[in-house]
Each structure stands twice: as C-alpha cells, then as structure tokens.
Amino acid sequence: MRFVFLGPPGVGKGTQAERFSAAHNIPHIATGDLLRSAIADARPVGLKAKSYIEAGRLVPDQVIIELMNDRIQAPDAKSGYVLDGFPRTIAQGKALCALLEKNQLTLDRVLYFSLDDDTLMERIVGRRSCPVCHAIYHMRYRSPEQDGICDECGAALVQRKDDVPETVAERLSVYKTETAPLIAYYEKKSILTEIKADQPPEIVAEKIEQAIH
C-alpha cells in the first residue's frame, strides 16, 4: 500500500497520516518530521534545511529527493507507506515516479486534502507539536490531557518556529506556486481523490477509508 497525502500546510495531513499508519500498519513518512529531527541532531541534512524551513521556503529538491530515496527504500517501508509532505514540487513528483518505476511499483492513490486559507491559518497558529514523538495537538481542537505535555510520551509540547502568522503566509504562498501543480499532475494519472477537510478528524478519516476502498 503506497499513498501520498497532498495538500496545503495545516490541512490535517499529519493528523490523518498518523491514524492511517496505525490503522493499516504502514509507516507514516513525513519529510517535515525527518528534517526537524535532523536539525535537532545537527545532522548535515538538517543544517542544509534549517534556514529554508525557518523562512517558510521549500528545501531544495536535491536535498529532499536524496533524503526520501533512502527513507522509502528502508526495510520497514517494503510493504508500503503513507507519504506526508512529499512530493511538494513537480520535480519531486517525477523523482518519486522514477524511483517507483525502477522498483516496478506504483502508488495506490494520492489523497488531496482541501481547505480555505482562513481555516488553514487558524489550524496552524493553534498547532502544538511534540518534538520527540511528533504527535500533533491543537490548542482548541485537540488539546492534550495535561496542559503543554504530550499524551503519548510526556515531552513538553512546542509551537514550531514556522507556525507563526508571517511565516505561515509565506508557506501558503509557496504551496500555491510550487506544490499545487501536483494536483493536475496526479489528476492526469487518474490516481487523485479530493477530500474536503473542513470537518472533524473522525469524519475526514471516514472519507479517506471510503476513498481507498
């Protein structure tokens, strides 16, 4: 099972991919989480990515493609995965396609999550993230049991540096110019399904299950 969760920042890809991964027993591979871990561990790929992430820009394709080539071919990804935040440019989409073809594999489906900009902004600015296990919370819509503490691992939750309104505006603009063209790219391949994400997580999760069956 190989799926791509595509859509603007804050639409709920990570939240849904986390649930989907547990329900279908496949790894949730999120480029943003991989990059943030690399920054925290001061690995070379993290050092290359840091300034782009903080500015709300995309990390160069070459860096991401190299990172994902390795991750997608790791042993735990043999039976499939859900990709969250990759591909994010046409070049990345083509690189993924080439890698799959080389291994005689295909994507099962690309789910495109859509939502209006005001709601995206509200979701992102209220997001709180666990820097250790990557669990996702929201001040209003998904608050942890104990204020500021991750339910899953007990770490202190943080607001990501790039989740402040000025950087979010840049990220939404970058999404429209660089990532949104992937919608037409996958539509042409007849593997895209749009999921309207303006409902509670449980309802969005039901729509995902309907879309893949």
Residue numbers of the site for ligand AMP (CB under 6 A)? 9, 31-32, 35, 52-53, 56-59, 64, 85-86, 88, 92, 162, 171
Contact map string, positions 148 to 187, toward ligand ADP, x by CB under 6 A: ----------------------------------------
Q: Out of 2, 36, 88, 128, pick the active-site residue.
A: 88
Taking CB under 6 A as the rule, does residue 110 contact ligand ADP? no
Distance CA 143, CA 127 (A): 9
Active-site residue, selected from the candidate residues 2, 36, 127, 207: 127
Catalytic hit among 48, 50, 71, 160: 160
Nearer to ligand AMP among residue 54 and residue 108 (C-beta): 54
CA–CA gap between residue 24 and residue 48 (Å, rounded): 33
Main-chain dihedrals φ then ψ at residue 26, nearest 5 degrees: -130, 150
- For residue 127, the partner it binds in ligand ADP, ligand AMP, none, with Cβ less than 5 to 8 A by kind, is ligand ADP
Minimum CB distance to ligand ADP smaller for 32 or for 93: 32
The CA-CA-CA angle for residues 161, 112, 66, to 5°, reads: 60
To which H or E segment does residue 105 belong?
none
Task: From the candidates 2, 36, 123, 171, give the one annotated as an active-site residue.
Answer: 171
Using CB under 6 A, which residues numbered 4 to 23 contact ligand ADP? Answer: 9-15
DSSP 139-200: TTTB--SSTTB-TTT-PBPB--GGGSHHHHHHHHHHIIIIITHHHHHHHHTT-EEEEE--S-
Euclidean distance between CA atoms 92 and 99, whole angstroms: 11
**Which residues are near ligand ADP by CB under 6 A?**
9-15, 123-124, 126-127, 136-138, 141-142, 200-201, 204
